[in-house]
Amino acid sequence: MTGFRTVVVGTGFIGPVHVEALGRAGVQVAGVVGSSPEKSIAASQRLGLPADYKTLDDVLADPTVDCVHLTTPNRYHFDQAKAVLQARKHVVCEKPLAMNSTESAELVRIARDSGRAAAVAYNIRFYPLCHEAAARVRNDSLGSLLHVTGSYVQDWLLKPTDFNWRVLAADGGELRAVADIGTHWLDLIQFISGRRITSVCADLRTVYPTRQRPTGPVQTYSGDTPADVATEPVEITTEDCGAIMLRFADGANGCLWVSQTTAGKKNCLRFELAGSKQSLTWDSQSPNALQLGNRDRPNESLVRDPAAMEPTAAAISSYPGGHNEGFPDTFKQLFRSFYGAIEKGILSDPAPYPTFLDGHHEILLCEAILKSHRQQRWVDVASA
């Protein structure tokens, strides 16, 4: 158990994921806060936590709270992150960091001035074999990076009757599939490759310009809207799918496909990094194996195994080879890295966790993607 006391704000799908992972990382969870005092109390009790905080203000007023995790809808991130940092508490914010780059740039400044640690929850980096891939790029196992391709596809918005707050531009932002899942891939690939994407050319598509919104509340990943629920048509401007061609700082190129309308894919992120000596292929559906492609000898399959991985990857893997880890373990490892860094006094870039600067770069990248799509041409990504 570390000495940290943390509060989680947000009680949807991902809030409880943070709560469990904080416990595993040895961080004391002091409570959870929902969108109303009643929800705060109900959620705290449901998760077996004290119900001492009814609102974020309660949390910020308590000097015994060291850190706040924000798992709220995207449009609240800016105000809440700002408030947390100004209360001189560490902060972990779900992605995307903000609704636009004006906000995210300001958050980077505030974080830098605050003397507090500020992370964005790009958890996928914390699959040990993604750290392994990054280590292998750096130790030149791959040779020069030639190109990177991949996709992030899901099927939970396949039907025009599928609905969630994320499909509305006003609540989730003007980009949806790109901002919700594409940004995970883009962050991951830049983390692994160690270089920035500098230009993009995107073509996005709203498969269903109208969706049926239930008049009552809906949960992420809740499956079909029941047949007897009343719905109303609502216009959709956010994209269901799209392609993005990419150029990297050093000349490498690539492309990304994102979709939330691919039947049979529940949550599937894949990448193929091609180097001049070796390629790396990974699929989040089988996260415990990394495929190494070789030209002149058999391809290899590296199984997640602390005894077989590079030190940075072994450090974020708790179980021996053959004992699969999964999605919940990525949050545990992200938080272990985050709080471990704070203990060591690492409060800003470069950091072993995704920082607000990384989150800001993702916002700039998303803005370039949206601009590229609207203007149907290549667009440079602004410098963070």
Do 157 and 258 contact (CB within 8 A), yes or no? Answer: no
Interaction with a second copy in 13-32: which residues (CB under 8 A)?
13, 17, 20, 23-24, 26
Residue choice 57, 300, 343, 380 for contact with a second copy (CB under 8 A): 300
Under the binding rule (CB under 8 A), the answer on residue 161 touching a second copy is no
Residue choice 237, 328, 374, 380 for contact with a second copy (CB under 8 A): 328
Q: Looking at beta carbons only, is 205 or 374 nearer to a second copy?
A: 205
Interaction with a second copy in 188-207: which residues (CB under 8 A)?
201, 203, 205, 207
Provide the token pair at 147. Answer: 């190109």
Do 375 and 40 contact (CB within 8 A), yes or no? Answer: no
In the complex, the smallest distance separating the C-beta of residue 322 from a second copy, rounded to whole angstroms, is 3
Give 268's contacts (C-beta < 8 A, 6+ positions apart): 151, 152, 153, 154, 262, 283, 284, 285
In the complex, the smallest distance separating the C-beta of residue 331 from a second copy, rounded to whole angstroms, is 11
Nearest to 190 by CA among 378, 364, 16, 370: 364
Select from 69-77, 114-122, 166-174, 301-309 the region that touches a second copy (CB under 8 A): 301-309
Select from 114-122, 169-177, 326-334, 341-349 the region that touches a second copy (CB under 8 A): 326-334
Nearest to 44 by CA among 222, 3, 54, 65: 54
Under the binding rule (CB under 8 A), the answer on residue 253 touching a second copy is yes
Do 45 and 108 contact (CB within 8 A), yes or no? Answer: no
Residue choice 64, 216, 232, 307 for contact with a second copy (CB under 8 A): 307
Interaction with a second copy in 341-380: which residues (CB under 8 A)?
376-378
Q: 115 in the Ramachandran plot: left (φ > 0), alpha (ψ -120 to 50) or beta?
A: left
What is the 3-class SS of 238-261, one letter each residue? CCCEEEEEEEECCCCEEEEEEECC
Question: Which 8-state DSSP code applies to residue 125?
Answer: G
Select from 54-62, 110-118, 284-292, 333-341 the region that touches a second copy (CB under 8 A): 284-292
Under the binding rule (CB under 8 A), the answer on residue 152 touching a second copy is no
Under the binding rule (CB under 8 A), the answer on residue 180 touching a second copy is no
